[in-house]
Amino acid sequence: MAIGLTTSSSISFFILFLVPAPNPESWPFILASACTHQIYFTLVCLGYRLGDLSQVYSIQRGIAPILVTIGALFFAQETLNPQGSLGILIISLSIISLTLTKNWKLDNSYAIYCALVTGLMIATYTIFDGLGARLSGNVFGYISWLYVLDTIPFAFVVFYIRRNTIKETLIREMRGGIIVGILGACAYATSIWALTYAPMAYVSALRETSVIIAAWLGCKLLKEPFGIKRIIAAIFILVGVLILQTS
């Protein structure tokens, strides 16, 4: 995670010289989002350490669209029609249902709590970025400054903690970290850009459909279970997406 953040931050630093600076009105949201991301990064790493990828990821990503819908209503006065609300609800519940496998452990409460709070952080920074990007005057300037600040202090703290084994860690994790940094930056930059054109709840719900890919990767690479229940859940997620597209 730290290597990925450093990668995206380094790329964004050079982009700063090519795009206009965001409007002053957006800076409180940039700073608030960067602070929220620090909690999110920590909880993501902790959650993946405590629980299965497919379960932790599904919980945190499943509850986020519902929370974004509520937050967007209160802070951005975004209202959805019944069809759009139904689509988001179907997507969220279907994503959460991906956690229901025979290996589900109710006693793994720390991983569950961690995933729930992570979902809250996802919703929080999504709302911050939706509001901030709309005020920025140039969404790419907003994204670049956010990515530069996102590295502080998480990446520096991680590198300091690993200072005694930093060389070995970099050799082992550098390639994966760089890939994570590039793909992650492109993915969320696209989401922030979309937040300036579409309701936050829609962007959040469609973004979280990536959980299907995560569950499949957890099955193939980490030998976690998939099964017929997850196939059904994936079908319902598709139904929810189609409902959103026609709402």
Q: Which residues contact 10 (CB under 8 A, 6 or more apart)?
A: none
Q: Give the Cα separation of 94 and 65 in Å (integer).
A: 12
- Determine whether 55 is exposed, middle or buried from the number of CB atoms within 10 Å of its CB (0-12, 13-18, 19+): buried
| pLDDT over 70 at 232, yes or no | yes
| Contact (CB, 8 A) for 92 and 85 | no
Q: Give the Cα separation of 66 and 118 in Å (integer).
A: 14
Across 133-142, average pLDDT: 97
Across 96-107, average pLDDT: 67
Q: Give the Cα separation of 97 and 206 in Å (integer).
A: 16
Write down the pTM of the prediction: 0.89
- Reported as a single tens digit per residue, the pLDDT across 25-56 is 999 999 999 999 999 999 999 998 888 877 88
Q: Which residues contact 245 (CB under 8 A, 6 or more apart)?
A: none
Share of the chain above pLDDT 90, in %: 70
| Contact (CB, 8 A) for 211 and 99 | no
DSSP type of residue 50: H
Query: For residue 138, which of 78, 200, 193 has the smallest C-alpha distance?
Result: 193
DSSP type of residue 225: -
Q: At 99, is the pLDDT very low, low, confident or very high (cuts 50, 70, 90)?
A: confident
For the chain, give every domain's residue range: 2-246
DSSP type of residue 137: S
| Contact (CB, 8 A) for 70 and 119 | no
- CA dist 176 to 8, 51, 181, 184, 233, Å? 13, 21, 9, 12, 29
For the chain, give the mean pLDDT.
90
- Reported as a single tens digit per residue, the pLDDT across 187-229 is 999 999 999 999 999 999 998 888 778 777 777 887 766 677 7
What is the structure's pLDDT at 231? 79
| pLDDT over 70 at 108, yes or no | no
What is the structure's pLDDT at 104? 57
What is the structure's pLDDT at 103? 59
